[in-house]
Structure 1
Amino acid sequence: MRKSSQSFLGEVRDQIKSKEAKEFVAVELDYHLKEAKNKWLEKGLDETVAEEKAVMQMGSPITLGQKLNKLHRPKVDWLMVMLLVTTMGLGFLPILFIETEFLLRFNVNASYFTTQKVIYSLVGGMLAFSIMLINYRRVERFGWLFYGLAMLFLVILQLSPNLRNGKSLLVIGPYSLDSLITMPFFLLAWASFFNHKKLKLWHLGLLFIVSFWFLLNTANLPAVYIYTVMVFGLFWCSRFSRKIKLTITGGIVGSFLLLVFTAWPSMKMYQVVRLLAFVNPEQYAEGEGYMMLLLQEHISKAGWFGNVLNSGVIPDVHADFVFAGFTYYFGWLAAFALFTILALFIVRIILIARNVHDPFGKLLLVGAVALYTVQLVSNIAMTLGLIPITSISLPFISYGLMPILLNAFIIGVVLSVYRRKDLTSMRSAQPQQ
């Protein structure tokens, strides 16, 4: 019985349950059928016979459809989901140790923070789930839109009259948003840019300089730092040669060191004191070095099993200094276990990236792991006194809407790529004989 390529594709599609897989398989098989048909046309067969021959080579449409349905069935990375749920649950523990003075200052009780944490966790979970359902491949062509949205938000922030510690904020009801909220948009934009072969290196450099300048003007140095690490992580995994990467990186590092050297005499006194306090906190124990000494004192008293029943006051124990509080109250064993759980996200993303062959998907994973890792490493390094104290949260553990939204988005992107990692091109496959 004669069978056209369209009827063959229809029977194959009927065996596939996923809508995304239906579309993907239809495009790939159609290309494959046309390729086989052209080969028969080259042998002198007319178009109708050539099409029939191409269809026959593909075998049974039902059998093929069932195999493709099994191969391209959308998957959920349950290990990543379990890690997400576990870390969000652990994020409630630091609320137990918020100091009474802090509660009195804001005229609230611990149940307020618990309620807010529940809301943040639910919103974060829904965000991660929603991002997972979106086909990440479809957003690649909107890189310029995401870049524009991020830049627009930065402009709005700079025009906002709301400031906290000199940092620009956009206040919406009871919630405050800072420039960290632009990181998801920039991640999608830069993954698209680095996968766009028509964009030259100078184009990318100009885009980075402009965005870097606008970020810098929001006075959120941690966001500038996180953004820079993400972009350079993507740059090092991009299509450019190793020589170009080394040259650009060396030039930027050299320029930064030169800038620091030349700017040192003109730095403001409080900036100089902050740097000196990091080097020698004992000399500035009554000022900038106080917090670093306090963290060192509490960590030195942690022991293996902590001090749950003992008193100890760590400011912002539920926010930026959550790892210090976790270590002091629960001990080094619990702190190591927490770090291991958080580090498993990194290991899992890297393992997924190794099995993803789509360039855009791989770049998204690289950017995601860079965003996540820089937060985790910086927060713990700050707690241990390895870097100056900065306002960088511990992923999923620190209290606050911004850390939850950013990291939930990161995990959502990872889940989206994992869900579609088996939708790989079949164009290199040979027709069945």
Structure 2
Amino acid sequence: MRWDNIFDKKLLKNIDIGIIISMILLFACGIAAIASATGVTHGGSLTQIKIQSVAFILGIIAIIIILFFDYNTFGDMSKLIYAVSIILLVAVLIFGKEIKGSKSWFDLGPVNFQPSEIVKIGFILSFAKLLEKREGTLDTIKGIIPIILYIVPIIGLILLQNDFGTALVFIFFIAFMVFAAGMSYKFILGTGVLAVLSLPLLWFKFFGDYQKKRILVFFNPELDKLGSGYHVIQSKIAIGSGQFTGKGLFKGTQNNLGFIPERHTDFIFSVIGEELGLIGSVVIIFLFMILITRCIYIARISKDSYGKYICIGIMAMLLFHVLENIGMTIGIMPVTGIPLPFVSYGGSSLLTNMISVGLVLNVGMRRQVIRF
């Protein structure tokens, strides 16, 4: 197993401070928004704040542990990581708990754990190694077939959980990774065309009634004002009422009166928009821009292809979460239950995102390390 002393000055000077600062500030903004959404200042419970804080502390510990190991150690273990990912997804189908129509959770008493969050990281680590090994072969059908066979079991198991939103996350970052690995845009475009052509089949054979309703309501929320369209309508009202400077932290009327559903999780950006206005919303988006652009920078300067693909996968995963979550709160993306990284309440999501950041920092730290 490859590991280094992370307190070595040669490694410490390569730690990306921009990523660390943006992550901490996003978490701090998230804690404030969660406190407002759960009514802490009005006698609400501190449970969510405590759980989120514990998850953050565990995330810091996880990052430190990850930094001790050369990231190529995970590449050496790629087959085992992939196998464990498959086992987790199968296990949740058998023993998991169904929440909001998706059987994708393990019930661990006071804490619900979603294994697909960890599988995101596991798949990126293992898939990046496969892409490194198959560089230069992704412009032929023969070279693409092993890639497809590697992807299908993971996506298939997630779809069996009825978790279409998470499946979209995987498809998004996989597309970025294979493009970075040299797959022709023609193949990617062709896959996109096939996906569009398959929509009628998905609509009539695979989508449930609630999924169909979500899609129809996305185009016209007024179709179901008090049902599927309620989330988006109330979210847009909240964000719009915040105007430029917002109503003030803990002073949002839509939030405090309970009109915003899932306001401490999926729709936390609505709380931020109402209480901190356009200024607060832009600050959050700016912090995400720093985080994502630093991931791209580290991918570009990484010492090997494996590190590059890890960073691209994690960057794309975070990017999709940000675009989808903020987009659905303002009505330009369908509601899929995708949380806002580091900001939305959710221990497993926060821990996953922090581990992801740890991996990017790991790649950046070792960009100039040469071993003989």
Superposition TM-score tier, normalisation by shorter sequence: 0.7 to 0.9
Hey, what does 1:60 align to over in structure 2? Answer: none
Rg larger in structure: 1
Larger mean Cα displacement after TM superposition, 225-234 or 187-196: 225-234
Q: 1:99-248 to 2 correspondence within 5 Å?
A: 109-168=44-103, 169-178=105-114, 179-197=116-134, 200-240=143-183, 245-248=184-187
CA deviation map 1:100-119 (0-9, x unaligned):
6x999xxx943222211211
Hey, what does 1:250 align to over in structure 2? Answer: 189
What secondary structure, in the 3-state scheme, does the structure 1 residue paired with 2:77 have?
Answer: helix
Identity among equivalent positions (%) equals 21
Cα distance, 1:270 vs. partner? 3.6
Q: 1:311-350 to 2 correspondence within 5 Å?
A: 311-312=253-254, 313=258, 314-350=260-296
Q: What amino acid maps onto 2:366 in structure 1?
A: R
Residues 72 and 157 (structure 1 numbering): CA distance in 2 closer, same or farther, change over 3 Å?
A: closer
Hey, what does 2:336 align to over in structure 1? Answer: 390
CA distance in 1 between partners of 2:225 and 2:335 (Å) = 14
CA distance in 2 between partners of 1:19 and 1:387 (Å) = 43
Q: What amino acid maps onto 1:136 in structure 2?
A: Y
CA RMSD of superposed structures (Å): 2.6
CA deviation map 1:376-406 (0-9, x unaligned):
1111111111111111111101011122111
Decide which of 21, 30, 37 is 1:82's aligned counterpart: 21
Larger mean Cα displacement after TM superposition, 340-349 or 70-79: 70-79
Q: Decide whether the 8 Å contact of 1:299 with 1:328 is kept in 2.
A: yes
Report whether the alignment pairs 1:356 with 2:296. no
Q: Decide whether the 8 Å contact of 1:95 with 1:110 is kept in 2.
A: no
Q: Decide whether the 8 Å contact of 1:154 with 1:215 is kept in 2.
A: yes
CA distance in 2 between partners of 1:130 and 1:187 (Å) = 19
Runs (5+) with no aligned partner, structure 2: 138-142
Larger RCO: 1 or 2 (CA < 8 Å, sep 6+): 2
Cα distance, 1:72 vs. partner? 6.8
Q: What amino acid maps onto 2:146 in structure 1?
A: H
CA deviation map 1:229-268 (0-9, x unaligned):
121111001144xxxx223213321221121124444555
Q: Decide whether the 8 Å contact of 2:37 with 2:271 is kept in 1.
A: no
Larger mean Cα displacement after TM superposition, 325-334 or 131-140: 131-140
CA distance in 2 between partners of 1:295 and 1:375 (Å) = 17
Q: 1:3-42 to 2 correspondence within 5 Å?
A: 20=4
Cα distance, 1:224 vs. partner? 0.7
Q: TM-score, normalised by structure 1?
A: 0.76
Residues 181 and 247 (structure 1 numbering): CA distance in 2 closer, same or farther, change over 3 Å?
A: same
Residues 220 and 270 (structure 1 numbering): CA distance in 2 closer, same or farther, change over 3 Å?
A: closer
Cα distance, 1:139 vs. partner? 2.0
Q: Decide whether the 8 Å contact of 1:379 with 1:393 is kept in 2.
A: yes
What secondary structure, in the 3-state scheme, does the structure 1 residue paired with 2:198 have?
Answer: helix
Residues 70 and 289 (structure 1 numbering): CA distance in 2 closer, same or farther, change over 3 Å?
A: closer
Hey, what does 1:285 align to over in structure 2? Answer: 225
CA distance in 2 between partners of 1:364 and 1:248 (Å) = 22
What secondary structure, in the 3-state scheme, does the structure 1 residue paired with 2:107 have?
Answer: strand
CA distance in 1 between partners of 2:266 and 2:165 (Å) = 12
CA distance in 1 between partners of 2:215 and 2:38 (Å) = 28
Cα distance, 1:424 vs. partner? 4.4
Decide which of 27, 34, 46 is 1:95's aligned counterpart: 34
Q: Decide whether the 8 Å contact of 2:11 with 2:365 is kept in 1.
A: no
What secondary structure, in the 3-state scheme, does the structure 2 residue paired with 1:397 have?
Answer: coil
Q: Decide whether the 8 Å contact of 1:355 with 1:421 is kept in 2.
A: yes
Aligned length: 354
What secondary structure, in the 3-state scheme, does the structure 2 residue paired with 1:233 have?
Answer: helix
CA distance in 2 between partners of 1:237 and 1:295 (Å) = 36
CA distance in 2 between partners of 1:71 and 1:88 (Å) = 28
Runs (5+) with no aligned partner, structure 1: 1-17, 22-68, 427-433
